[in-house]
Amino acid sequence: MVRLILPIVITLLMVAQIQADSREERLKLRWLRDKPAISVINVEGSSFFTAGEIKKRMYSRTRSLWGTLKGDRRTRVQRESLGRDTLEIKYLYFTNGFLGVQVVETFDINPIDSSAVINVSISEGRRLFYGRKAITGDYDHQLHIDVYKLGERLRLGKPINLFDLRQTTFDMKTVFANNGYPYAQVSYYLDSAVADSCPITFHIEGGQLVRFGQVSPTGTNRYPDYTASRESRIHEGKLYRRQDIIDTRRRLLESGYFSTASVVHSESSTDSLKPNMMLRVREKKPLYTTFKTGAGQSQVRDIEWDVSAAFGGRNLFGSRRYDLSTRFKFGVGGGRGLLEHIYRVRFTEPWLFGTRMPLTLAAEWEPGVKDPEQNYRIQSWTLSASTVKKFSREIRGALGTEYESVEIFGVPEDEVQFLKDEQGIEVRRNVYLAFRRDSRDHIFIPRRGSLTDLRAEFYGGFLGGDNNFTKIEASWSSFQIVWPGWISATRFKAAWAQPFSPSKEVPIIDRFYLGGANSIRGFKVNSLGPTLPDGTLEKANFIALFNQEFRWQTLQIFQFIPLLKDVLGVWPLWQSVFFDMGNGYRKPEEMSLNNLAYSYGTGVQIVSPAGPIRVDYARRIKTETIPFDYRWHFSILYAF
């Protein structure tokens, strides 16, 4: 009897235990779905890294007043918490030589307040270091030096970084893919059985040399086929290069004729060593029209209303572009009627002399409007030509010229010059040369890279015109991450304008002012520069400027306000601290530390799709020539 009852009792106890475990598991899952706050994080098994270092790298954070103010969702258990915590911890170990690390994370209920207790158990394993490196396999040994240099990035005796190792393997494949071997295979082997210093063997199977086959555009119905084919960096018989495919797609989109573009292997291609390629594009419409209108307020009129319209095409004489535009300005209140009307025609040759260097020719005519009191009319017309050359993805140059003519009707000949001086009318004719190098990773909030701008202008001289002078501007901005989440932004800028005979000075509109939200904060816009003996501000012929700014994503303190919570969830809030220094002078030799302007302050930015909307508070530093003051600035986009 006992033998019969005992198995039944054991079975019933097991079923009861399973049901209890299942009930407890369901309760725990329901608890996790409620996203409990994290009160404790326990770390066990780590000896190389401290528990504090592990916690800093984890996605999860214990609840705190600081985290609440920031609106940090990581202080509560999220659906992704377990996976991200494990990945972050493993990444820390994988990048420091612990390739065999094991991480186990569990969540328990804190009986005191039903918050979450996270337990992390780590088995570190051995720490491994880079040993000697060898390269084996069957491949084109003309590429051996390039591959060897990549392998040398893994320095002997340094802890093995698994991701650097994988990146090196990928970069080796890229070397072959950009030199005619897209099917090359690269693998590595770590010999960790002997010692902590692990020999690494890269094995390469280069495969056969591949060249591009026929290249055919598809989707070009409105424009000639050459509109797509001339942008291609791939040609029949040329060595297969992955980078050429990437560049071709970029150039197709930059051309302005296509809304989408891709480079793919032709389905009809049968030769893997000479694959046919297709430039698959979707065209933009050849003809387009635009219409704009808007109103604003001026110093002399209550309302000024602008109306503009344009008509253009992308298929003139094949693929040449043109557009015709006009703009009207009307005054409403305090001076009604037509104030201004301008007509413009522009023609663009996308490929100048068979080179990817667009040439734009433009003509603008402003008939002028009769002055209602003095019955005269000022008419002007302008011709311009400009071209741009892109030397690489980061570097481009520009060259252009502008020729202007002004005529005044309704005024005696001997009074024309007097009226020009009174109205500030200047006939401007110039040639300019510009250079830009832009390696920033983002336009609005760059985290890395730099921006270099150089521009030289020549006015008058053999071109004629009312003024003769040269103007040079140079600026350099650098961006880098100096702390997790902190961006350092630095700018140096200088500009110089110099007249030459017969002109005695540079026109006022071409001289420089400093001060304001985009140069030296703490000062009114365009309020810095040399002054006359009576204290009147005089525009500068030379400026020097330095800015240093630190930017970071700030406390999300408005998350509790219903309307702002949704907005700031999409448009994050950032903050900055800055230091500005500079001034303007008549001559470069006047510059000294004693007459520089200094300011510092902080700012808040809402990062919208159109760029940062910022409010800055700046305080001047008192010097012998500049008194203390402070100022608020409201602007769009960062100062640099």
Instruction: Give 142: exposed, middle or buried? Use CB within 10 Å, 0-12, 13-18, 19+.
Output: exposed
Rounded-to-5 percentages of helix, strand, coil across the chain: 20, 40, 35
The CA distance from 325 to 329, in Å, is 14
Q: Is the pLDDT of residue 335 over 60?
A: no
The CA distance from 75 to 68, in Å, is 8
Could you tell me if 600 and 576 are in contact, meaning their C-beta atoms sit under 8 angstroms apart?
no
Residue 277's beta-bridge partner residues? Answer: 215, 265
SS3 assignment, position 334: coil
Q: Is the pLDDT of residue 301 over 80?
A: no
Going by their DSSP bridges, the two strands 197-205 and 129-138 should be labelled as: parallel
Asked: is 129-205 a CATH 3.10.20.310 domain? The reply is yes
Percent of the chain with pLDDT over 90: 66
Please give the pLDDT value at position 622.
93
DSSP per position, 340-355:
EEEEEEEEEESSBTTB
Confidence of residue 13 (pLDDT cuts 50, 70, 90): low
The CA distance from 111 to 136, in Å, is 60
Residue 497 region, left (φ>0) first, then alpha (ψ -120 to 50), else beta?
beta
Q: What is the CATH number of domain 215-283?
A: 3.10.20.310
Count the Cβ atoms, other than its own, within 10 Å of residue 324: 13
The CA distance from 347 to 323, in Å, is 7
**For residue 609, is the peptide bond before it cis, meaning its omega torsion is within 30 degrees of 0?**
no
Round the average pLDDT of the chain to a whole number and report it: 89
Distances (CA, A) of 300 to 340, 341, 399, 425: 15, 19, 38, 19
Which residues contact residue 371 at a Cβ distance below 8 angstroms, ignoring those fewer than 6 apart? 377
pLDDT tens, position by position, 161-173: 999 999 999 999 9
Please give the pLDDT value at position 239.
95
In the predicted model, what is the mean pLDDT of residues 9-36? Answer: 63
SS3 assignment, position 535: coil
Which residues contact residue 589 at a Cβ distance below 8 angstroms, ignoring those fewer than 6 apart? none
Q: Is the pLDDT of residue 22 over 80?
A: no
Please give the pLDDT value at position 112.
85
Q: Is the pLDDT of residue 151 over 60?
A: yes
Q: Distance from CA of residue 132 to its chain's centroid?
A: 40
Give buried/exposed letters for 168-186 (b at 16+ CB in 10 A, else e): bbebbbbbbbbbbbbebeb
pLDDT tens, position by position, 74-117: 888 888 888 899 999 999 999 999 999 999 999 888 888 888 89
Confidence of residue 363 (pLDDT cuts 50, 70, 90): very high
Torsion angle of C-alpha atoms 366, 370, 375, 380, degrees rounded to 10: 0
Please give the pLDDT value at position 37.
87
Q: Is the pLDDT of residue 515 over 60?
A: yes
Domains 34-123 and 215-283 equal at CATH topology level:
yes
Count the Cβ atoms, other than its own, within 10 Å of residue 504: 9
What fold does the segment set 34-123 form as a domain?
Answer: Ubiquitin-like (UB roll) (3.10.20)
Q: Is the pLDDT of residue 140 over 80?
A: yes
Please give the pLDDT value at position 426.
84
Domain ranges across the chain: 1-32, 34-123, 129-205, 215-283
Catalogue the E-assigned strands of 78-128: 102-109, 116-123
Query: Among residues 253, 145, 259, 156, which one has the least CA distance to residue 200?
Result: 156
Confidence of residue 270 (pLDDT cuts 50, 70, 90): confident
Confidence of residue 223 (pLDDT cuts 50, 70, 90): very high
pLDDT tens, position by position, 560-617: 555 565 556 667 889 999 999 999 999 888 888 888 999 999 999 988 888 899 999 9
Confidence of residue 632 (pLDDT cuts 50, 70, 90): very high
Please give the pLDDT value at position 594.
83
The CA distance from 553 to 72, in Å, is 12
The CA distance from 260 to 252, in Å, is 8
In the predicted model, what is the mean pLDDT of residues 280-295? Answer: 93
Confidence of residue 252 (pLDDT cuts 50, 70, 90): very high
